[in-house]
């Protein structure tokens, strides 16, 4: 059992050495894109929610 655990962590180390980590500029650009997309989707959902609320209030009153 101990050998399997050791082998697992050795494999993890080998695989982590193969990873290509993003550069700082690429990471910042991706973060900005994600934040902008989240804001756009949030605004879209807000507008739809407000529209549906207005429509329901209009229909029910």
Residue-range domain boundaries for the chain: 20-61
Rounded CA separation 3/9 (Å): 10
Rounded CA separation 42/53 (Å): 16
pLDDT value, residue 43: 98
Q: Which helix (H) or strand (E) holds 17?
A: helix 2-18
Q: How far apart are the first and last CA of the chain?
A: 70
pLDDT value, residue 56: 96
Tell me the pLDDT tens digit for each residue of 2-56: 999 999 999 999 999 999 999 999 999 999 999 999 999 999 999 999 999 999 9
On the question of pLDDT at 61 being above 90, the answer is no
């Amino acid at each position: 059992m101990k050998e399997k655990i050791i082998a697992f962590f050795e494999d993890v180390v080998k695989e982590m050495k193969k990873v290509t980590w993003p550069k700082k500029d690429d990471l910042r650009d991706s973060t900005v894109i994600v934040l902008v997309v989240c804001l756009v989707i949030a605004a879209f959902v807000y507008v739809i929610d407000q529209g549906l609320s207005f429509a329901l209030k209009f229909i029910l009153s």
